[in-house]
Structure formats: C-alpha cells, structure tokens
Amino acid sequence: MSDRDRKPDAPTSEVDAARRAFLRKIGAASTLTLAPGVVLYTMEGTEAQAKKPGEPLDPKKRWGIVIDTTKCTSGCEVCVEACKKENGWEAKPGSRTDVQWIRKVDVKDPKTGFAMSLPVMCQHCANPPCVDVCPTGASMKRADGIVRVNMHICIGCRYCMMACPYKARSFVHEDIPEERKRFHAPMGKGCVTSCDMCAHRVDVGRIPACVEACDKGAMIFGDLNDPTSEIAQYVAKFPTQQIRADLGTDPGVRYARLP
Amino acid sequence: MGRAISRLMAIMALCLGVTFVVTSAQAGDIVPKVPIDKTKGSCVLPGEQMKREHMNILKHRRDQTMYQGIRGGKPSLEQCLTCHAVKGDDGKPVTVASPKHFCRVCHDYAAVQVDCWTCHKSVPEKNPFKAAENGMMSKKILRAEVEGLKTYLEGGAK
C-alpha cells in the first residue's frame, strides 16, 4: 500500500496501533465531564496545578483573567475591596493620586442607555508599553506573562504611568504605615506600583484575591496557554475582547460580552 | 642606662597588654549580638558568615523571587523574621521603629542604614505558604472552585 492510498489516520504498523490505543486509554482515564459540552482533562492539568513555592516559574504558562461583563454589577466593589485587603493599599474616594491597583468603571451608551460596569486593572500585556519605556528595567514582564514593577530598582520616574494606556499604574506618594503593609506585597514611598495578578499567590498555587472574592462568578483565572484549562476553553468557546486591542499590546486580561 | 630602657620597655609592653585585654573585654560587651530563637532551628549559614554575607544572600533571593517567583523556605526574608523577631513589652514582635528590632541591634551600632523596611513589613505575618505547601490548592478550595466553575459554565453556556 502506497502512502497516498492510506487513510490519514490508519496506523503504519502494529507498534503504532498499539501506541495509539494506549494513548487513547490514558486520555479516557483522565477526563472529567464538568458541564454539558465542556470536558476538563484531569484537575491536575488546570491551574489547580501550580509550581511549588521553591520552584522557578514555568515560562510555558501565560496567566490570564477573563471577566464576564454581564455578570459584573454596578456598585459592587467586592474585587476592589479584596485587592485592597490583600495588597495593603487604600484610595480615598475621588482621589487622583492615591494608589489604585484595580477600579470599577461604569460605562454607558448615551444613544441606547445601555450601561455596564467592569473592573479594570493591569491588563498584563504581552507587549507592555510600560516595560518598553522603563529606563532602569524595573518595569518588567515575568516569563509567565505577569507584568509588575521591581520596586528594588524603580527610581519613581513615572514614565510607565504615562505609557500605560489603561491607567493601571500609580505612584506611592506617602509612607505606608506599618499596620497597612503586607508582607507579600511590599510597596513604599517613591516607587510606582500596580496589580501583579497576586504573583505571591499564583506562585504558590492560589488564585488572585479579586477572582477568589468575586461572588458573582464573573472572573476566571488560569493559564491561557494550556488548552485544557477552563479559561482557555472559555475563550475558545465564547467571544472575548481585549480593551484597546488596536494598540497591539495583547493583554492577558480579556472581557467577555463587551458590547 | 640600657637596663633602664629595657625596664621601661617591659613596663610599656605590660601596659599595652593590659590595655589590649581591657579593650577586647569591653568590645565583647559592646558589639551587639543578633537575637535568635534557637528553638526554630539553625540559621542558613554560621553567624560569622551571615554577618558578612547576609546582604548578598538577601539580594540573590530578592532577584530569584522577582524574576523566577521562588518563594518561602530558606533563605528568605520571611525566614529571617520568623527566627529573629524580638518580642516587645506587649508580647508582640517589635517593628523596626524600636531599637530592639533585630536589624537595628547591629545596624545602629555600625551606623549603616537599612532601607528594606520602608516597603517591607518588619514583623512576621501568618505563613501564607502553609495552605499550598505541596504546591497544590487545598482540597476545600479546589472543591469550591469546581462547584463555582460548574454553575458558571452552565450559566455561561446559555
């Protein structure tokens, strides 16, 4: 039988056939039907699996968050409050200079009256403009896609704040009192700071505080590069958008059902 | 004459010796010792080595955490605080505002300013690594996640 006559998936030899049967068996053993039409391949294959605290991060991962705008309600600030508590920042209402890692934005279409509310934080771009402009290398992208400030070498020039199209970064103008400091999210006067997708949690296998706190199930966190994770399955199944995708920053935070 | 000189020298040598002994005895009292809770195990390196190299070790770990996400264990700033924290009069660990803080004990003596604590918390915090010690989510969180996900996907699939 020549190669051309053979069916595309016909095994070329007995060894091949046995190997394929074995692989199929493994596949069947490790799948789990979660909901109609959605099959999750082993819980260990999703973001439940994480590196051990002492291990270096996995550069094959691309952490991301999907936010369903239809589930997010106006006036609900649960994610913002959770972030404040976790990362030790506070912003007085209306202040334009206080530290702010995540904010709720209410938008309305004046023609139709359609209104919606959505949280906006660092979008964790694949091509982050804040990293491009940083003169010291303090503004950085980790190999797993998390964009953050290395405050040890930040000089507080605030170029990154100007470059960020999402207004995600803020400058710490005042000393943080000892009781508000968080051990795993240090920040101090004279540095720029922003959402780091709770890197300290992600590094030990937990999910970001905002995602954990959202009681409306409007946020999913996970590895966009892992086709078996629920976030990857979600973005493959439903339409999601990046804010200002036209800028080519390719954010890791995506919004579902933006009008 | 020669005898007088040698006697003088002997006296001088004696005086110097005495001075030396006194100085070293005083120095032993003056040079501060880093407070440590030895019940929590030994330090990552012997004391003498830590005295000279702790800043390099901290800097190395700092970069590992920033760029590679390596956290917890030894050596880490968290571990320093765990063993070296000093309790104040109220029984709680003292912050760096107190001269009793383990960093300040030596750094005040050597007149070297530490900038770590302008951003970092200077007292130990509850260990967040416990729940995820084995690198996995706890079963309770995991179960809650799966339940939440089910409802979410069923709602979202409509």
> pLDDT by residue (tens digit) across B84-142?
888 888 888 899 999 999 999 999 999 999 999 999 999 887 654 443 333 333 444 44
CA gap A224, A3 in Å, rounded: 37
The total of other beta-carbon atoms located within 10 Å of residue A29's CB is 8
pLDDT band at A30, cuts 50/70/90? very low
B62: chain A residues, CB-CB within 8 Å: 152
Contact B149 A188 (CB under 8 A): no
Contact B69 A142 (CB under 8 A): yes
Contact B83, B40 (CB under 8 A): yes
Residue B22: pLDDT above 80? no
Any idea which residue has 């009793």 for tokens? B100
Average pLDDT over all residues of chain A? 85
pTM here? 0.72
**Do B144 and B119 share a domain, yes or no?**
no
**Do B66 and B18 share a domain, yes or no?**
no
**Do B80 and B119 share a domain, yes or no?**
yes
β-pairing, A63-68 vs A219-223, is: antiparallel
Q: Report angle CA A198, B117, B105 to the nearest 5 degrees.
A: 145
Residue B29: pLDDT above 60? yes
**Do B49 and B23 share a domain, yes or no?**
no
A150: chain B residues, CB-CB within 8 Å: 66
- Of A36-40, A149-153, A195-199, B44-48, the poorest mean pLDDT is in A36-40
What average pLDDT does this structure show over A97-120?
A: 94
Q: Give the pLDDT confidence score for residue A15 in this predicted structure.
A: 57
Write down the domain spans for chain A: 1-41, 57-256
Q: Give the pLDDT confidence score for residue A93 in this predicted structure.
A: 81
The total of other beta-carbon atoms located within 10 Å of residue B4's CB is 8
**Do B81 and B149 share a domain, yes or no?**
no
User: pLDDT tens for residues A165-185?
Assistant: 999 999 999 999 988 899 889
| Helix and strand element counts for chain A (H, E) | 7, 12
Q: Give the pLDDT confidence score for residue B4 in this predicted structure.
A: 64
Could you please report the per-residue DSSP string of A129-176? Answer: HHHHH-SSS-EEE-TTS-EEE-TTT-----HHHHH-TT---EE--SPP
Nearest CA in chain A to B148: A217
CA gap B25, A239 in Å, rounded: 77
Residue B147: pLDDT above 90? no
Q: Give the pLDDT confidence score for residue B8 in this predicted structure.
A: 59
Q: Give the pLDDT confidence score for residue A32 in this predicted structure.
A: 45
Whether complex ipTM tops 0.85: no
Residue B3, phi-psi category: left (phi > 0), alpha (psi -120 to 50), beta (remainder): alpha
Contact A136, A51 (CB under 8 A): no
Point out which residues pair with A40 in neighbouring strands. Answer: A32
**Do B3 and B68 share a domain, yes or no?**
no
Q: Give the pLDDT confidence score for residue B103 in this predicted structure.
A: 93
**Do B108 and B68 share a domain, yes or no?**
yes
In this complex, the residue of B67, B97, B145 whose CB is nearest that of residue A142 is B67
**Do B73 and B145 share a domain, yes or no?**
no
Any idea which residue has 């966190």 for tokens? A221
What phi, psi does B16 have (nearest 5°)?
-60, -45
Q: Per CB distance under 8 Å, which residues of B are interface residues toward A?
A: 62, 64, 66-73, 78, 95, 97, 118-125, 128-129, 131-137, 141-142, 145-146, 148-157
Q: Give the pLDDT confidence score for residue A189 in this predicted structure.
A: 93
| Contacting A residues, span 166-185, partner chain B, CB-CB under 8 Å | 175-176, 178, 181-184
CATH class of the A57-256 domain in this structure:
alpha beta
Q: Give the pLDDT confidence score for residue A215 in this predicted structure.
A: 93
**Do B43 and B121 share a domain, yes or no?**
yes
Residue A64: pLDDT above 60? yes
**Do B81 and B58 share a domain, yes or no?**
yes
**Do B91 and B45 share a domain, yes or no?**
yes
Contact B142 A230 (CB under 8 A): no
Residue B154: pLDDT above 90? no
Output A111-118 pairs: Cβ under 8 A, ≥24 positions apart. A114/A259, A115/A74, A116/A69, A116/A70, A116/A72, A116/A74, A116/A259, A117/A69, A117/A72, A117/A73, A117/A74, A117/A75, A117/A76, A118/A67, A118/A69, A118/A72, A118/A255, A118/A258
Q: Give the pLDDT confidence score for residue B91 in this predicted structure.
A: 83
pLDDT band at A8, cuts 50/70/90? very low
User: pLDDT tens for residues B130-146?
Assistant: 433 333 334 444 455 45
What is the separation of C-alpha A95 from the centre of its chain, rounded to a whole number of angstroms? 26
Count of domains observed in chain B:
3
Q: Give the pLDDT confidence score for residue B48 in this predicted structure.
A: 87
Could you please report the per-residue DSSP string of chain B? Answer: -HHHHHHHHHHHHHHHHHHHHHHHHHHHHHS------GGG---SS-HHHHHHHHHHHHHHHHHIIIII---SSSS-HHHHHHHH--B-TTSSBP-TTSTTSHHHHHHHHHT----HHHHS-SS----TTSTTTTSB--HHHHHHHHHHHHHHHHHHT-
Residue A56 DSSP code: P
| More confident of the two residues A9 and A245 | A245
pLDDT band at B12, cuts 50/70/90? low
**Do B46 and B79 share a domain, yes or no?**
yes
* Count of residues in chain A: 259
The total of other beta-carbon atoms located within 10 Å of residue B70's CB is 20
Any idea which residue has 């700092």 for tokens? B62
Provide the shortest C-alpha distance from residue B116 to chain A (in Å).
9
Q: Give the pLDDT confidence score for residue B20 in this predicted structure.
A: 46
User: pLDDT tens for residues B31-65?
Assistant: 888 888 877 777 888 888 888 899 999 999 999 99
Domain containing B2: what range?
A: 1-31
A256: chain B residues, CB-CB within 8 Å: 156
